[in-house]
Amino acid sequence: MGEKVIYLDNAAATKLDEAVFEEMKSCFFEKYAVATSEFGYSQGIEAREILLKARTDLAACLGADPEEMVFTSGNAESGNLALKGVAGALGEKKGKHIIVSKIEDFPVLHSAKTLEKQGFKVDYLDVDEFGFIDMGQLEKRIGADTILVSVQHANQEIGTVQDIEKIGKLCRERDVLFHTDATHTFTRIPIDVNRVNADLVTISAHTIHGPKGIGGLYVRKGTPLMKLMDGGFQEFDHRGGIENIPGAVGFAKAARLVTPEENLYLQAMQKRITELVFERIPLVTLNGHPEKRIPQNANITFHHVEGESITLHLDMYGIAVSTGSACFSRSLEASHVMMAIGGDHERAHGSIRFSFGRFNSMEEVGFVVEKLEKIIENLRRISPLGKRGGN
């Protein structure tokens, strides 16, 4: 495969699509007016229309109205706005209780921790070995003072897809707002906000070959929400700051480019890498559910080996992967997701997350497993972690 780098990291999805780039280009150089002005000049009005078109396209992906789609700087901001926004709007009026799952990604999880420090009570739902929450536990925890349930659509590390329809239904029955973080499912797995009864949905562009620095939050009409970002009255008064029109336009284009066929191909690569690894490498565990998972992710533990060692060895072959929790790779702490699904430190540290994107191919999958086989064998031979492979 020569000099080319094979990205099976989250960067697999962060490469901008050329068609997205072309779409953004016209906003950079031709239609770059500020959208704010309603009484202003023609170009400003045109800019507003361009922004509305992007908003409409993205809202349509969720079965939502354009006025319910709020642009943010990314999924991190969307998650923060959902949690802190509802807390700010309802904390004094209705109650200070919030429920999240233990395996939420950091924007939601750490927003919850911040709110806890500010006097909110947060329940962190357990998950089973696959990462599913327990509906019975959720039901029991909802009380009169519960203002928000936030459970992700799919997990960022192990790819497990929750049954958000069931969760949404329960929340609606109990009159509690429901936020779901759909960063890893948007356009990959269909979501209809009305079928799901979601009040808030976090989406992001950089996970579907769109630009970084732009994301969205679906906000159901009438949802009480305090601003996270004060400024002007942009985004239906939910988020101040000059509109990032090139970003919005690129985001909408990225969403339009995803096809069901592409999602099937991503899933085929995911299934193939899993099959091949299980065929050729002993002592491995698939993390997450075998079927109910996002198409673009496989997460596998190679027992008795450090994930960091695997990463470094694959790197020598020009293969870019991350250990289980990509965001956490910076620290050496074990992934909170792996610990929550009942893994021990050994299982957590030996896990590798393979992410697939539009620019990956089945050939790459074969090449990667071939190299993996050798690497794991060698690492196990010298492993201080105990048992050798193949025993």
List active site positions: 327
CA dihedral 365, 305, 287, 214 (to 10 degrees): -70
Return d(Cα 254, Cα 209) in angstroms, integer: 6
Residue closest to 157 by CA, chosen among 369, 340, 361, 326: 326
Judge contact between 103 and 325, C-beta under 8 A: no
Contacts of 34 (CB under 8 A, 6+ apart): 44, 47, 242, 243
Q: In this complex, which beta carbon is closest to its own copies, that of residue 296 or of residue 311?
A: 311
102 sits near its own copies (criterion: CB under 8 A): no
Judge contact between 359 and 6, C-beta under 8 A: no
Q: In this complex, which beta carbon is closest to its own copies, that of residue 208 or of residue 228?
A: 228
10 sits near its own copies (criterion: CB under 8 A): yes
Write out the binding residues for its own copies, residues 280-319 only, by CB under 8 A. Answer: 308, 311-312, 314-315, 319
Q: Among 322, 351, 360, 383, which residue sits at the site for its own copies (rule: CB under 8 A)?
A: 322
1 sits near its own copies (criterion: CB under 8 A): no
Query: How many residues interact with its own copies (rule CB under 8 A)?
Result: 76
CB 135 to its own copies: min, Å: 27
246 sits near its own copies (criterion: CB under 8 A): yes
378 sits near its own copies (criterion: CB under 8 A): no
Build a one-symbol-per-residue string for 24-53: x at contacts with its own copies by CB under 8 A, - elsewhere: -x--xx--xxx-xxxxxxxxx---------
> What is the DSSP pairing of strand 69-72 with strand 215-219?
antiparallel
Q: Among 326, 358, 385, 388, which residue sits at the site for its own copies (rule: CB under 8 A)?
A: 326
Q: In this complex, which beta carbon is closest to its own copies, that of residue 95 or of residue 318?
A: 318
Write out the binding residues for its own copies, residues 328-367 only, by CB under 8 A. Answer: 328-332
Q: How many residues comprise the chain? A: 391
Tell me, rounded to whole angstroms, the distance of Cα 162 from its chain centroid.
13
Q: In this complex, which beta carbon is closest to its own copies, that of residue 114 or of residue 378?
A: 114
Write out the binding residues for its own copies, residues 197-236 only, by CB under 8 A. Answer: 206, 211-214, 226-233
Q: Which tokens belong to 197?
A: 């009864």
CB 92 to its own copies: min, Å: 10
Q: In this complex, which beta carbon is closest to its own copies, that of residue 75 or of residue 101?
A: 75
73 sits near its own copies (criterion: CB under 8 A): yes
Return d(Cα 372, Cα 366) in angstroms, integer: 10
DSSP letter assigned to residue 335: P
Return d(Cα 85, Cα 79) in angstroms, integer: 9
Judge contact between 355 and 297, C-beta under 8 A: yes
130 sits near its own copies (criterion: CB under 8 A): no
Which range touches its own copies (CB under 8 A), out of 129-137, 140-148, 238-246, 346-354?
A: 238-246
Give me the amino acid identity at 175: D
**What's the sign of the alpha-carbon dihedral 277, 281, 282, 283?**
negative
159 sits near its own copies (criterion: CB under 8 A): no
